[in-house]
Amino acid sequence: MDQKIRWGIIGLGKIAHSFVQDLALVNEAVITAVASRSLEKAKEFASEYEVSLAFGSYKELMECEEVDVVYIATPHRFHANLSIMAMDLGKHVLCEKPLGINKKEVEAMIASSKKNKVFLMEALWSRFNPAIRKVKSLVDNGEIGNIAYVHADFAFYALDRDLKGRVLNPELGGGSLLDVGIYPIFLAYLLLGKPDEVLSTSSFYSNGAEIQTSIIFKYQHAQAVLYSGFTSNSTMRAQISGEKGIITIPERWHQAQGYSVQKEQQQEAFRLPTQGKGYFYEIKEVHACLAEGKLESDLWSHQNSLDLIGLMDTIRDQNGIHFPSSE
Ligand SMILES: NC(=O)c1ccc[n+]([C@@H]2O[C@H](COP(=O)([O-])OP(=O)(O)OC[C@H]3O[C@@H](n4cnc5c(N)ncnc54)[C@H](OP(=O)(O)O)[C@@H]3O)[C@@H](O)[C@H]2O)c1
């Protein structure tokens, strides 16, 4: 590629710092601008990562002619509005997960991508993880026979966090389901598709935040047992069991560095370490799609994001998970 893809980052929190370190590993990428609600914070971030432009408002970055793709790294509640604003200003968008907080928002975002003819993708980085891609191809090729059972979870202790922070604040779209439950739901959906039936139950914190959700996806010949929570740590190992064997993705499975296959009492482990932390691969996917003039990725399409949020809407409806000021 002759010309570098110019990235702008909006919302300079925790993930923005991790993302920018992987962006530096991608040859065809350059980060030209960062934006925060605070100009001082933007300047600090820009100086730490040698970024030439720092803005004290998100809109200024969206209007900047030196930015091709905007990466949105704010709390969930702002994903839809900010993505649509950026797309209306002609920018391609990579937006953190979940793409929107409900299906209606995701539909509006996809409509904006189509209307403005710009690329839009949910930053569901696990989809592009080399070990997870390999596991998907093994399953699709029948390596362990028909899948009967998937078990995946994502949990860590978070009840000591600030109640105003994005993790535990329902006003910001907080709670375990959209923050981390999205990963096990994604894995079951990736390997088995949309379930015939969804069963789930949630528990809530004193401030109304959802802090534990257990989910069963029922398929004609398989069940997936999934869990998200903020009330304890978990080893976070994923298991995929088929008629002829078991694939295990070791902890923390969503950022896998390998996998193992067990067949006829023999277990073999394979290492597939990521470049950087693993955001590298979603960045490469954005670049590949832009080079081909695509509006969406084939690996994680608009329909995939719609299906995923549709499943989370169902679980929210079943358990009364509300985000007060946004719906
Ligand atoms: N893919 C992954 O591995 C991964 C990991 C963690 C998080 N995430 C996703 O990334 C997004 C951000 O997560 P994070 O952990 O980076 O969150 P964070 O540390 O709280 O940072 C979020 C940033 O959003 C901006 N923001 C805008 N309006 C805000 C408001 N009303 N309250 C708080 N912050 C506001 C702030 O940036 P400014 O002050 O600079 O404006 C803030 O620093 C979430 O969607 C999350 O699901 C993804």
Mean pLDDT value across residues 228-251:
98
Mutate to test the pocket of ligand 1, among 12, 14, 255 (most ligand atoms within 8 A of CB): 14
> Which atom of ligand 1 approaches the CA of 35 most closely?
40
CA–centroid distance, residue 89 to ligand 1 (Å): 22
Residue 3: pLDDT band (50, 70, 90) is confident
User: Which amino acid residue places its CA nearest to atom 27 of ligand 1?
Assistant: 74
- Total-model pTM: 0.98
Share of the chain above pLDDT 90, in %: 97
CA distance 79 to 63: 17
What is the structure's pLDDT at 278? 98
Residue 327: pLDDT band (50, 70, 90) is low
Q: Report whether pLDDT(30) > 60.
A: yes
Express each pLDDT in 147-197 by its tens digit: 999 999 999 999 999 999 999 999 999 999 999 999 999 999 999 999 999
What is the structure's pLDDT at 265? 87
What is the structure's pLDDT at 297? 98
Q: Report whether pLDDT(1) > 60.
A: no
What b/e string do you get for 61-100 counting C-beta neighbours within 10 Å, with b at 16 or more? Answer: bbebeebbbbbbbbbbbbbbbbbbbbbebebbbbbbbbbb
> Spelled out in words, what is the top-level CATH class assigned to the domain 5-123+278-296?
alpha beta
Which residues does the annotation mark as catalytic?
97
- Evaluate whether the domain defined by 130-273 bears CATH number 3.40.1160.10: no
Express each pLDDT in 193-233 by its tens digit: 999 999 999 999 999 999 999 999 999 999 999 999 999 99
What is the structure's pLDDT at 177? 98
CA–centroid distance, residue 73 to ligand 1 (Å): 5
CA–centroid distance, residue 135 to ligand 1 (Å): 30
Indicate the domain borders of the chain: 5-123+278-296, 130-273
Residues at CB less than 6 angstroms from ligand 1: 11-15, 36-38, 41, 73-76, 78, 96-97, 123, 125, 166, 172, 179
Q: Report whether pLDDT(307) > 70.
A: yes
What is the structure's pLDDT at 2? 62
